[in-house]
Structure 1
Amino acid sequence: MLGLARLPYGVLYVIAEGFYFLLAYVVRYRWRVVQQNLRNSFPEKSAAEIDRIGKAFYRHFAQVMVETIKLAHMSDAELKQRVNFRNPEVLERHFRAGRMALGLSSHAGNWEWVLTSGAVWLSAEVDGVYKPLSNPFFESFMHQLRTRTGAGLIPMRDTLRDMVQRRGEPRVVSLLSDQAAGPEDRPYWTTFMNQDSGFYTSADRLAARFKCPVVYVSIKRIRRGYYEIVLTELYDGNAPLPADEFPITDAFVRHLEADIRAAPEQYLWTHRRWKHKRPA
């Protein structure tokens, strides 16, 4: 994999086309899941449109694969050139005030470039909450990729303890907030992409406890190999949050839904996002 990272982008994207062909036409990786997710999310679209979006997604997914590998041999300057933060001042003003912030991102665009590019764009530390992989080799490999530009990683089970211990430090703690929450997680249930969906409520609970601002992190591919990140403040960390309501999570869902509708091929449709059902 490290050998691949040294190849020029032109060669990597040729390899990505090979991955795309294998995923979409030979292996048909989770093809039924992708088709079901797309049909349920876009009931107004024809079968031909669903097929087109599905194929475009596999091409995008293959490109994200080689771009992630490329992280092993990218300079900070190159990463900063390829991922443009349009409005970093949304976070920087909180850093200047000595505040910790939460960043809510998703499996859209190139999600693996969000944390690493944030570490080279922002003046404060960027830490990502993650679930360690069970395979030791891939856990070590992905840990090195995700931290090589200076970002930190926080195992999911240690999130609260880490935030308590470092509550006075200006930084952003990034959460991948679109993952499927099960009934045991006491999720916030809402309609997302025309389907009942349960979301983790960590953002609301942590923001209320630590009085920290929350931003939505949108990343979109503007052309092959180049992305733009736009930050939208969802909560300023000052006004009290209502108990047993989840306005931050709901705002995240609405922003993500708008991003998906604008560029559906850039979302991770192989993810079993809707595997849980709302309790009767």
Structure 2
Amino acid sequence: MTAMASLPLAVLYGLARVLYWLMAYGLRYRRGVVLENLRNSFPEKSAEQIQLVAKGFYWHFAQVIVEILKLRALSAAELRRRVTFTNPEVLGRFFPLNRQVLTLGSHAGNWEWILSAAALEYPGRAGGVYKPLTNPFFEDFMLQLRTRLGAQLVPMLSTLRDLVQHRNQGRTLSLLSDQAAGPEDYPYWTNFLHQDTPFYTGADKLAAQFQCAAVYVGIRRVRRGHYHITFTELHDGLTKLPAEQHQLTEAFARQLERDIQASPSDYLWSHRRWKHKREVRTKK
């Protein structure tokens, strides 16, 4: 994998075309899941339009795969050139105040490039929560890939301990907040892309407990291999938000919904985000 990562991106994008064909037409990778997600999320679109979005998704996903692989060998200078921040001051203003900031991202654009780009933009201040992989080889590969440009990784089960250790330090902790939460996670349910959707509530709880600020991370592909990141402040952390009201999670859902609707092919549609249904409790 390291040898392949050393290839120029122009060559890797040739590989991406092969991956695209295999996923879209050969293996038909999760084709049913992709189409069902798109039909339910965009009921106003015709069958032809849904097919076009699906085609765009597979091409986007193929590019992201080789871009993630390239991160193993991508230089800091090249990543800075390929990922730019439209308003870095929105996040940066919290650091001189020694405030912890939760940055809420999603599986849009190239989500793996965001943390490494942030580590270059804010040296020593960018951390991200991740779920360790069970395969030792891939766990080691991804750890090296994600941290080689200065990002810090925090295992999901160590999030609380990390926030305690870094209390009153100006840094950011990134959460991918669009995962499919199950009933055991006591999710927050809201209407998202025309569907009743469960969201994790970790951001609400952490912000309330540690008085963290919260910032939404939007990423937009401007051309092949180039992205713009835009921050939207959701909470300044100066006032305590009641966790049970889920204001941060609701604000995150609305921002993400707008971004997906603006560029639907650049979202990860192959994941079964709507596999869980809300439990309806009847009164006895």
- Bin for the TM-score computed over the shorter chain: over 0.9
Shift of 1:242: 2.9
The aligned counterpart of 1:70 is 70
The aligned counterpart of 1:146 is 146
Q: Percent identity?
A: 60
Contact 2:22 2:28 in 1 (8 A): yes
Give distance in 1, aligned partners of 2:116 and 2:17: 25
The aligned counterpart of 1:164 is 164
Contact 1:234 1:248 in 2 (8 A): yes
Distance verdict in 2 for CA 1:147–1:130, change over 3 Å: same
Give distance in 2, aligned partners of 1:36 and 1:241: 36
The aligned counterpart of 2:224 is 224
* TM-score, normalised by the number of residues in structure 1: 0.98
Q: Report matched runs for 1:32-51 at 5 Å.
A: 32-51=32-51
Runs of 4+ in structure 1 off by over 3 angstroms are: none
Distance verdict in 2 for CA 1:84–1:53, change over 3 Å: same
Give distance in 1, aligned partners of 2:72 and 2:247: 38
Amino acid at match of 2:150: G
Give distance in 2, aligned partners of 1:158 and 1:72: 25
Shift of 1:18: 0.5
Moved more, 100-109 or 203-212: 203-212
Shift of 1:122: 1.6
Give distance in 2, aligned partners of 1:143 and 1:240: 34
Q: Report matched runs for 1:29-108 at 5 Å.
A: 29-108=29-108
3-state SS of paired residue (2:253):
helix
Distance verdict in 2 for CA 1:243–1:16, change over 3 Å: closer
Contact 1:124 1:172 in 2 (8 A): no
Amino acid at match of 2:132: P
* Structure 2: tracts of 5 or more residues without a match: none
Give distance in 1, aligned partners of 2:181 and 2:73: 35
1:122-148 CA distance string (max 9 Å, x none): 244111101111111111111110101
3-state SS of paired residue (2:169):
coil
* TM-score, normalised by the number of residues in structure 2: 0.97
Give distance in 1, aligned partners of 2:11 and 2:243: 53
Moved more, 120-129 or 46-55: 120-129
Amino acid at match of 2:52: R
Contact 2:128 2:153 in 1 (8 A): yes
3-state SS of paired residue (1:174):
strand
Shift of 1:191: 0.6
Q: Report matched runs for 1:1-280 at 5 Å.
A: 1-280=1-280
Amino acid at match of 1:40: N
1:174-215 CA distance string (max 9 Å, x none): 000000111111111001111111101111111111111100
Shift of 1:5: 1.2
Give distance in 2, aligned partners of 1:86 and 1:67: 21
CA RMSD in angstroms comes to 0.9
Give distance in 1, aligned partners of 2:236 and 2:197: 26
1:207-227 CA distance string (max 9 Å, x none): 111111100000110000000
Give distance in 2, aligned partners of 1:14 and 1:240: 50
